[in-house]
Amino acid sequence: MSAFWIALQFLTIFPVQLKSVPSPLQNARALLFYPVIGLLIGGILYAVVSLFHALPAVLLATICLILWVWLTGGLHLDGLADTADAWVGGFGDKDRTLSIMKDPSCGPIGVLSLIVLCLLKWSCLYVLIDKNLQVYLLMFPVWGRLAPLYLFLTTTYVRSHGLGTQMAQYLPRPLAWGILLIALLICLLGGIKAAVAMVFASAVLWYLRRKFIQRIGGITGDTIGASIEMVEAVSLSSLVICSFYL
C-alpha cells in the first residue's frame, strides 16, 4: 500500500507520514492510485454537499469549490497558471516555454486563467447542486486524475530529471492501461450524461496532448497539472449543459 500513501501525500493535503523516501518504482506505481485519490476527493465533496443540502445552492457551491481547491493544496491550479504563462510568454519557442514554467512567479495570464477556470467551476457547481445532480461529483476528480495516466502512457516526459522522469521510466504500462480502461467503463454507469461529458473531456485531453507535443515535444509536471484542471472543468461543464437537453 506504500504507493497509495505516496499518491495520497502528493495529491492532497492529508498529513501522510512516509516511513522512508519512496523509490523510483514506488513513485511510478503511485500513478496507478491517482484515480482512487480522485474518488476519495469526489466522495468528500459529495458527502459535504449531501450533508449541508439545506443551504442555498449559491453558498454550497462556494463551499464545495473552496473545499475542492483546499483538498488538493492548489497543486494543479499552480500547474495551470504556469502553463498558461509559459504558453503565452514562450512565443512558440520550446526552451523559452520550459524556462518560464520553472519561474515560481505568476504572471497576468496565469492569474487570468485561474479566475476563468474557478468561475467556470463555481457556476457549474451551482447549477449541479441546484438540479440535485451532486452524485456526479464522485466522477469529475476521477476523470481529472486519469489524465496523468493517459499522458504518461502516450507522451514523452521532456524534463531529464525529477519525479516525472521516474514515473515515465518505471510505470507498469500494461496495468496502467487496464486501470485506465476499467475506470472509464465504470464512469459510464453514470448514464448518457456521464458518457457525453467523458467524450468531451477526452477530446480536450487529446487536443492538449497534441499542443504539448507541438510546442515542447511532450509533457512536464505543470502541463499535467493543467490537464487535470482542464479535464475536470470540461467534464463538469459538459455534464451540466447536457442536463438541460438529455
The model's pLDDT over 54-70, given as tens digits with 9 standing for 90+, comes to 999 999 999 999 999 99
pLDDT 10s digits, 8-55: 999 999 999 888 888 889 999 999 999 999 999 999 999 999 999 999
In this prediction, residues 110-122 reach a mean pLDDT of 97
pLDDT of residue 65: 97
160 against 67, higher pLDDT = 67
Q: How many residues belong to the chain?
A: 246
Phi/psi of residue 210, nearest 5 degrees: -60, -45
Q: Nearest-CA neighbor of 193 among 149, 146, 238, 159? A: 238
**Which whole-number Å values give the CA distances from 40 to 11, 18, 77, 222, 243, in the listed order?**
11, 19, 19, 23, 24
pTM beyond 0.85, yes or no: yes
> How far, in Å, CA of 17 to CA of 15, rounded?
6
Average pLDDT over the chain reads: 94
